[in-house]
Chains A and B, each alone.
Chain A
């Protein structure tokens, strides 16, 4: 068990190191010099050179890479080229939008997916199952940003229940913040709920075929009692993995939804930073998102080991 943990920890650190290298190299080959971009087309060559040395861009690549990495490890993400503020502060502000949005969307997706998936599995082969399966097929096919545009059309323009975009911040009260995140969260949650619902269904159907379920039924438990008492807990393991992965996806994958609703989240920050050649912001935010994904995978693997006694033995 300890062996497994340390092996997993080693791959975790190695993945982070490789990821940081890939991100740094990708950003390095991006055309356009941030210094000349910031100063505009009429800038003098010596002004550009002065700014380059101020930003540290004249340093060799390897020392810039090492400085970036060691800065990130201590929580210092550098200073934005465009806004001249600390990247960590910018990221912190944006996280207050992206993180609640991801949690909200994940909550909605789970609340929709669990009951529908369980229902479909319990009614497998019948009309109820057919309805859920058909609905999930359509849900998976819907692009979330299209769904977002349609939601804005109905709930913001026609019914005027929600604002069409923007985020007023949390200072006006939690309810206000939640209201402005509701449409984006629904748009993000729907396709995720469709995927999760199918996974709940197939995991549960698989578990319902096990011998111990037949035993439980033979003891006289009803089909719903069997599902609640025996099948669901065992079926939840793959479901939890997907929920974990969905969380990291929702954190990073909300870029387009943030564009639709003009939300000042992490995704929009990266998108704007890329177009403004604010490379330090791009590097740091992408690294942070990749870190979140790798960390979630690591936690899921460790949680597996704790939940499933079979994985606790060494050598697996």
Chain B
């Protein structure tokens, strides 16, 4: 069985790689990717170009490094939107539990869940124009009900606990109890969910960029690299394989990190067989 600490270590390791690449790319890039060098196109793997070059002669390693920035930024902000709007909504619904407001928030969640997220994301990016920013909004909107739902469910069970009762007896308002007592106890669930949504965000960004609705040229993105590579699959399969592996390793890393964190942060799961 995978030990939670092993998952955690692997997860951290795999997540650090794209993060480090993205960070380094701000200070140093092996080659300039804004310049096209056709004579250098489709060069295979070598010491100067560890991942080779693409059909415009751009260095693939640099493209992957700069592409990591787009993927991470889009997924990160999209998770941020989900947390900043979803968590307060969920906490508010739990505070007014059983009321019409609670019911309204939950029905709103169900409604957003019913929409095919990809279709709506395409609709939003088509309405507002294709760009990384609009991709963030489109992905972020679907994170809101996810965070609202889990924070409401977890908060509801916390509201039944004695320490919340004593806080109520002490005269604290629902708002203060939510901030001071409920939220800190939700943190571990939220962190785990955030890593899962982060990995889904990376996949969604890649998908939107692949069909041309995410980051626009010349900004490199892993999804766009795959779209460019599709016509080249017979000539240079590595153009499709390398960005794909970058996406898979990042998503795998985030999922392992999420699993590891869930086990590490939840004392009840420690030492038990993972379900």
Residues of A within 8 A of B (CB): 11, 14-15, 18-19, 22, 26-27, 29-31, 124-126, 129-130, 133-134, 137-138, 140-143, 145-146, 149-150, 152-153, 157, 202, 205-206, 248-249, 252-253, 255-256, 259-260, 267, 270-271, 274-275, 282, 286, 289-290, 293-294, 297
Contacts and interface: CB of A to CB of B under 8 A. Distances in A.
The prevalent SS among residues of A at the interface is helix
B107 interface: yes
Contact of A140 (B210, B211, B233, B251): B251
B115 A153 contact: no
Interface in B214-263: 226, 229-230, 233-234, 237, 240-241, 243-244, 247-249, 251-252, 255-256
Interface in B99-150: 107, 110-111, 114-116, 118-120, 122-124, 126-127
Nearest to B121: A255
A140 B255 contact: yes
Contact of A256 (B110, B211, B243, B247): B211
A18 B111 contact: yes
Contacts, number: 130
A282 B234 CA distance: 35
Given A256-B118, A293-B116, A15 B252 contact: no
B275 interface: yes
A248 B120 CA distance: 15
A22 B254 CA distance: 33
Contacts of A130: 1-2
Given A149-B233, A157-B233, A293-B115, A143 B255 contact: no
Contact of B273 (A124, A282, A293): A124
Interface of B: 1-2, 107, 110-111, 114-116, 118-120, 122-124, 126-127, 199, 203, 206-207, 210-211, 226, 229-230, 233-234, 237, 240-241, 243-244, 247-249, 251-252, 255-256, 273, 275
6 contacts: A26-B120, A134-B2, A141-B247, A143-B207, A255-B118, A297-B114
Contacts of B1: 124-126, 129-130
Contact of A149 (B118, B123, B230, B251): B230
B206, B233, B249 pick with most chain A CB within 10 angstroms: B233
A274 B126 CA distance: 7
Contacts of B256: 137
Nearest to B116: A252
A277 to B, nearest CB: 9
A206 B110 CA distance: 27
A153 B122 contact: no
Contacts of A152: 233
A274 B248 contact: no
Contacts of B107: 11, 14-15
A145 B210 contact: yes
B119 A255 contact: yes
B247 A270 contact: no
A157 B234 CA distance: 7
Nearest to B250: A141
A205 B273 CA distance: 10
A249 B142 CA distance: 14
B244 A150 contact: yes
A143 B111 contact: no
B205 to A, nearest CB: 10
A153 to B, nearest CB: 4
Contacts of A134: 2
Contacts of B118: 252-253, 255-256
Given A31-B127, A143-B203, A19 B252 contact: no
